[in-house]
Amino acid sequence: MIIGRKPLNLSLYRLALTPSGLGEETPKGFKISNERLEFLGDAVLGSVIAEYLFNKFPYRDEGFLTETRSKLVNRETLNEIGIKIGLKDTLEQVVSSRQFIGNKSLFGDILEAFVGAVYLDRGYKFTQKLILQRILLHMDLDGMISTVTNYKSKIIEWSQKESKVVEYKVLRVNGNQRFKEFVVELHVDGESVAEGKGSTKKKAEQEASKNACETLNISL
Amino acid sequence: MIIGRKPLNLSLYRLALTPSGLGEETPKGFKISNERLEFLGDAVLGSVIAEYLFNKFPYRDEGFLTETRSKLVNRETLNEIGIKIGLKDTLEQVVSSRQFIGNKSLFGDILEAFVGAVYLDRGYKFTQKLILQRILLHMDLDGMISTVTNYKSKIIEWSQKESKVVEYKVLRVNGNQRFKEFVVELHVDGESVAEGKGSTKKKAEQEASKNACETLNISL
């Protein structure tokens, strides 16, 4: 059993293994499926990962934390992890595999629903441990972080390779002395390419760089 | 004291009361402020509210739960609650009020940071109780729900008032027998006004109605 303990309430886990496409509809049109558990599991997973990143990176700002988390818990990543930890095999024991072709994030959805089921069955602390010990190790944190932080260095790298002159200009500073919002424009060879906003100049430059990476099709 | 108990770690609460605009910058450019706590508190709040709605509405689908939650924890609502529970007065004891004019969601941000501080100080269960007992009561759940659900009835109401003929047409059903995606078109007096998609016909109609409310400027 994936959770490493005997489940207290087996029906929750059965429900987690019921994708919406396979759920039965009640006479009143309510579909019994794992979607509600997925909603709950997504929230619990988000909270656990938030605390993990908060503790692991005491000197990084909330922009970094938010972006790293959204990369860790995105649909594709979760789907891969769902398959890795055996949800595909488990599901195949229940239904024919042909029945669930076509839903790209099926196992990610089940993984989230599964987290929701564990939470209802065993509480927050148990679920937290389970996520940290059994799910997080499948997340390529280092790989993700490297793509989170270095938009600006990506731009610098690119400009050197392409012999372009890159310049960051502060367009304006909104707000008062205390609450500032910097608006930064990124110029390539004198031409404005992208804009970015942020509560510090550094953040605004990062955002401008990120936008420029998209505009200029610079691969990350 | 808002949390109703003596805090174990007072510096956390002090940090929660430090908006980014008032935070000091370290020599390395790292700004000490409540933004990281806000990130954590936002996640914990989201998780607690998710479970609350999950239990309170056992027969509502995840679309309803998601939308209701996002209305409950939006910036404006949180900001109002922050003021109601006394964060403004608390902050004014620390700094001059003129210093924090200009940030619209200042007290909502502090509220989230405060939830993060309580979580680190006292754990999940304590924070959950605090949110349910002291924060949730300020949220107008019924009022919000009435705006969440009734897009379709809004359209029907409107059509009767304006003497229009409204019709929902299933344009196509994507996917296979098991995983369906309905695409529904909403016609007003024979003309297509909006489209909606969903895993059931009902959901697709709701989404089409929502889009039509926007297109037709129907107030909710």
Domains of chain B: 10-148 (1.10.1520.10), 150-215 (3.30.160.20)
Test B44 with A43 for CB contact under 8 angstroms. no
pLDDT at residue A57, as a whole number: 92
| Long-range interactions of B22-28: CB distance < 8 A, separation 24+ | B22/A178, B22/B95, B22/B99, B22/B100
Query: B176-211, pLDDT tens digit by residue?
Result: 666 678 899 999 999 999 999 888 888 889 889 989
DSSP H stretches of helix in chain B: 10-16, 35-56, 62-72, 75-84, 87-94, 106-122, 124-130, 141-149, 151-162, 201-215
pLDDT tens, chain A, 220 aa long: 466 667 778 889 888 988 876 666 666 666 678 999 999 999 999 999 999 999 999 988 888 899 899 889 988 889 999 999 988 888 887 776 556 555 778 899 999 999 999 999 999 999 999 999 999 988 888 877 776 667 888 898 899 888 899 999 999 888 766 667 889 999 999 999 999 988 888 888 988 998 998 888 887 6
Return the closest-CA partner of residue B175 out of A43, A101, A69: A101
Distance between first and last Cα of chain A: 38
The residue-averaged pLDDT of B34-44 equals: 95
Query: Residue B7 corresponds to which tokens in the numbers above?
Result: 């805090």
- Using an 8 Å Cβ cutoff, are A202 and A184 in contact? no
Test B62 with A176 for CB contact under 8 angstroms. no
Q: How many CB pairs under 8 A join A and B?
A: 110
| pLDDT classification of B19: cutoffs 50, 70, 90 | confident
- Using an 8 Å Cβ cutoff, are B53 and B68 in contact? yes
Q: Which residues fall within 8 angstroms of residue B84, CB to CB, at 6 or more apart?
A: B138
The residue-averaged pLDDT of B139-161 equals: 80
Test B178 with A51 for CB contact under 8 angstroms. no
Q: What is the ipTM of this complex?
A: 0.70
- Residues in a beta bridge with B196: B184
- Residues in a beta bridge with B25: B31
Mean pLDDT computed over every residue of chain B: 85
pLDDT at residue B143, as a whole number: 78
Question: How far apart are alpha carbons A218 and B87 in whole angstroms?
Answer: 45
In chain B, which residues touch A (CB < 8 A)?
A: 19-22, 29-31, 35-36, 38-40, 42-44, 46-47, 49-51, 54, 59-62, 65-66, 99-103, 116, 119, 124-125, 175-176, 178-180, 199-200, 202
Residue of A nearest to B59 (CA): A30
Task: Say which residue, B42 or B138, is predicted with more confidence.
Answer: B42
The residue-averaged pLDDT of B32-43 equals: 93
Question: How far apart are alpha carbons A61 and B103 in whole angstroms?
Answer: 19
Residues, chain A: 220
pLDDT at residue B40, as a whole number: 97
Query: Residue A171 corresponds to which tokens in the numbers above?
Result: 């367009």
Distance to chain A for B210, nearest Cα, Å:
20
Got the DSSP string for A106-162?
HHHHHHHHHHHHHHHHH-HHHHHHHIIIIIGGGS-HHHHHHHHHTHHHHHHHHHHHT
The residue-averaged pLDDT of B98-125 equals: 86
A25 has binding-site annotation: no
Give the number of C-alpha atoms closer than 13 A to the C-alpha of residue B175, restricted to the C-beta side: 21
- Using an 8 Å Cβ cutoff, are B186 and B208 in contact? yes
Q: Which residues fall within 8 angstroms of residue A199, CB to CB, at 6 or more apart?
A: A179, A180, A181, A182, B20, B21
- Using an 8 Å Cβ cutoff, are A175 and A198 in contact? no
Task: Say which residue, A78 or B26, is predicted with more confidence.
Answer: A78
pLDDT at residue B3, as a whole number: 63
- Using an 8 Å Cβ cutoff, are B208 and B168 in contact? yes
Question: How far apart are alpha carbons A189 and B32 in whole angstroms?
Answer: 36
Alpha-carbon torsion B129, B133, B139, B140, what sign?
positive
Catalytic residues of A: 42, 112
pLDDT at residue A182, as a whole number: 87
Of B19, B21, B62, the CB nearest to A36: B62
Q: Which residues of B are annotated as a binding site for Mg(2+)?
A: 38, 109, 112
Return the closest-CA partner of residue B51 out of B129, B144, B111: B129
Catalytic site includes residue B42: yes
Three-state SS at B137: helix
Alpha-carbon Rg of chain B, whole angstroms? 22
Return the closest-CA partner of residue A46 out of B53, B161, B42: B42
pLDDT at residue A200, as a whole number: 80
* Chain A residues touching B31 at Cβ < 8 A: 61, 200
pLDDT at residue A201, as a whole number: 84
Distance to chain B for A111, nearest Cα, Å:
16
Query: Residue A126 corresponds to which tokens in the numbers above?
Result: 């148990």
Task: Please state the separation of Cα B96 from the chain's center in Å.
Answer: 30
Of B38, B47, B61, the CB nearest to A46: B47
Test B124 with A124 for CB contact under 8 angstroms. yes
Residue of B nearest to A66 (CA): B39
Of A36, A46, A100, the CB nearest to B61: A36
Test B36 with A61 for CB contact under 8 angstroms. yes
- Using an 8 Å Cβ cutoff, are B42 and A45 in contact? no
Q: Which residues of B are annotated as a binding site?
A: 38, 109, 112
pLDDT at residue A30, as a whole number: 66
The residue-averaged pLDDT of B21-38 equals: 75
pLDDT at B5 > cutoff 70: no
A162 has binding-site annotation: no
The residue-averaged pLDDT of B118-135 equals: 95
* Chain A residues touching B124 at Cβ < 8 A: 124-125
Burial of A216 (0-12, 13-18, 19+ CB in 10 A): middle
* Chain A residues touching B103 at Cβ < 8 A: 175, 179
- Using an 8 Å Cβ cutoff, are B195 and B183 in contact? yes
Question: How far apart are alpha carbons B86 and A29 in whole angstroms?
Answer: 44
- Using an 8 Å Cβ cutoff, are A131 and A104 in contact? no
Question: How far apart are alpha carbons B75 and B109 in whole angstroms?
Answer: 8
DSSP H stretches of helix in chain A: 10-16, 35-56, 62-72, 75-84, 87-94, 106-122, 124-130, 141-149, 151-161, 201-215
pLDDT at residue B29, as a whole number: 61
